[in-house]
Amino acid sequence: MCGILGQINFKQNNINETKFQKALDLQSHRGPDDSGIYQDKNIIFGHRRLSIIDLDSHAKQPMVSKCGNYILVFNGEIYNYIELKEELLKKGYKFTTSSDSEVLLNSFIEYGIKCIDNFRGMFAFAIHDKIKNETYIVRDRLGIKPLYYYKDNNQFIFSSEIKSILSLIDKKKLNKKAISSYMSFRYPILNDTFFKDIYSLTPANYIKIKNNKIEFKEYWSLIDKFKEQKEDKGEEYYITKLREILEDSVKLRMRSDVPFGAFLSGGVDSSVITAIMAKNSKEKIKTFTIGFEEDGFNEFEYANIIAKQYNTDHKKIILSGKNYIKNLEKLITFKDAPLSVPNEVPLYLMSKELKKYITVVLSGEGADEIFGGYGRIFRSPYDYERIKNIDNLNISESEKEELAKDFIKKYGVRFFKNEIEHFMNIYSYTSYKDKKELLSFELEEIEKELEDKFLYYFNQIENESYYNKIMYVFEKIHLVGLLHRVDTTTMATSVEARVPFVDHRLVEFAFTIPIKYKLKWIKDKPITIMSDKISESYDIPKHILKKSYEDMIPKEVLYRKKMGFPVPLHNWFGGDFNKYAKELLLSDKAKKRNIYNTLNLEKWLNSDKLKENHSFAMKIWMLINIEIFIKKYFD
């Protein structure tokens, strides 16, 4: 796990190595253990190293092949590097290190860019071929590792973090599209960033640069996996296969030459990972949980159950809101973006604490997306189906009237034209109406572009069920933002997070499992109740995962209601946090930005809802993030 930076000039060779080194060192938190630069003619590659596999200095990067023709910079891990190395040894390759980096480099020499098909891992890397004078820049299949790029007529720059790119270019401009996307979906979803002309490489894509021409190519897709759902192989088959793949995924992610442990929240996903780790380790697994002192804002009780059952070396971290803003400001400078959710701050503080004991941590992200964990949203197609066919439902006219009223109460409208309109209503965190109230710039064209992004993925699998479309979109759009949060909060403290549920083989398999095994009805389908009241009362989200681990996880943990990771935001807005928000968002500078609708914003800041309603408080929290970000990067 590291930080990478590269610059390719298209015209005269005017690379400034001193400037490049300073840009690279801005990522020193990603790689505090070593640093290296390789320069040749019109290219320069840089690497900051966090040593995880083969701690010796001879495994440092940029790594140059024995023949001297190939140069690699690599951020991430190839977990199956031992098996790949055995194959390469049979083909006559010699190795001077025990690192996965050298395996990656030799795999490229042997198989070309097709080598990525063999990799199980998380990766963002670049390889330059001096003979062919071409460069490949690659991002892993699901977006676990970040990779940003900037291009103009003179150069192409890529980096693990935006700050390094900013220090190498002359100008930066705020991207208002990203602000609108952020308010709706918590991060920019158009492969853009908060800076105009700086982009995020789409997961499962690579860039090829040759003769100053830039080509983008997708190398992996989930689309064919849906077809396998049509053949129901029975619950027992899916349970057996799921355990086989997941346990292999966890074991692979325990490969490390430095101490490792696990986040243990007390939820299903982290509990399952901890149980598998304990089963496959001779030593005690180190586990960490975090929460706030306020009642109802931690899950210590459930984390303790698992820690005790598996005899882990367990540490509990208790937070207060005292230094929240200070740490929020600090984390924004690591992320080069507003934070997505309030719990990024506690995750960062937990990573800071656990760095005292371990360098690698396994985390449970990615399970909700593939197994149907967001019950309120994943069960919502049932609302759409019923309201669309309300005249044909086998209920009385008065019940139909009540159902229609409940639908309007939940969604604000009586009907939706199509699935995408319904999905945007339930998935958007901030409604278009609220955005128009809070933001002062033109939103209509941006809104269309954002909706088209979802429509693009819906259309890719247009003949599939609405349930499958939602799960596909969550994997292609929602997950990327989630993984970025994990990367930022851990790498800011020089900790490597590994996510076993985001193993591409597990994801592929999960998309072959019929929906009925993910969202399992446990009672007769209620015809007159909305999906948010159905979820976890009439059905079991993530049923197949929970059923698979009934022998290892107590039912009180497996089958309790989903909690998420709450932060007592609305409580804080009753005191100093409210004062801070007003001083920040109603300042003269903020008013002049042409971003916020100050009159409406002032009403929101004075509303009692701010102290009572978490969702209301969350929108103000997001605006605070935007203003802190703009002050840091543009004032």
Tokens of 154: 């003179």
3-state secondary structure of 39: strand
Handedness of CA 346, 348, 351, 355 (dihedral sign): negative
User: Would you call the peptide bond into 62 cis, given omega within 30 degrees of 0 as the criterion?
Assistant: yes
Residue type, 110: E
Q: What does the alpha-carbon distance between residue 297 and residue 565 come to, in Å, rounded to a whole number?
A: 8
**Is 67 marked active-site?**
no
Residue 614: which of 578, 560, 572 has the closest Cα? 572
Residue 73: which of 135, 156, 115 has the closest Cα? 135
CB 103 within 8 Å of CB 91: no
CB 464 within 8 Å of CB 226: yes
Contacts 24+ apart (CB under 8 A), 246-249: 246/272, 246/276, 246/500, 246/501, 246/503, 246/506, 246/548, 247/276, 247/280, 249/500, 249/501, 249/503, 249/505, 249/506
Handedness of CA 106, 110, 113, 115 (dihedral sign): negative
Residue type, 306: I
Give the strand pairing for 286-292 and 70-78.
unpaired
Q: What does the alpha-carbon distance between residue 284 and residue 523 come to, in Å, rounded to a whole number?
A: 41
- Quote the strand ranges of 388-543, DSSP E: 496-498, 520-521, 539-540
| Active-site choice (2, 15, 222, 350) | 2
3-state secondary structure of 263: strand
Estimate to the nearest angstrom the gap between the alpha carbon of 361 and the chain centroid: 16
Q: What does the alpha-carbon distance between residue 317 and residue 346 come to, in Å, rounded to a whole number?
A: 9
Distance between first and last Cα of the chain: 33
Tokens of 32: 């505090």
Q: What does the alpha-carbon distance between residue 219 and residue 221 come to, in Å, rounded to a whole number?
A: 7
Residue 3: which of 59, 55, 62, 43 has the closest Cα? 62
Q: What does the alpha-carbon distance between residue 64 and residue 102 come to, in Å, rounded to a whole number?
A: 9
* Block residue for tokens 């031992």: 82
Alpha carbons within 13 A on the beta-carbon side of 412: 8
Q: Which residues are catalytic?
A: 2
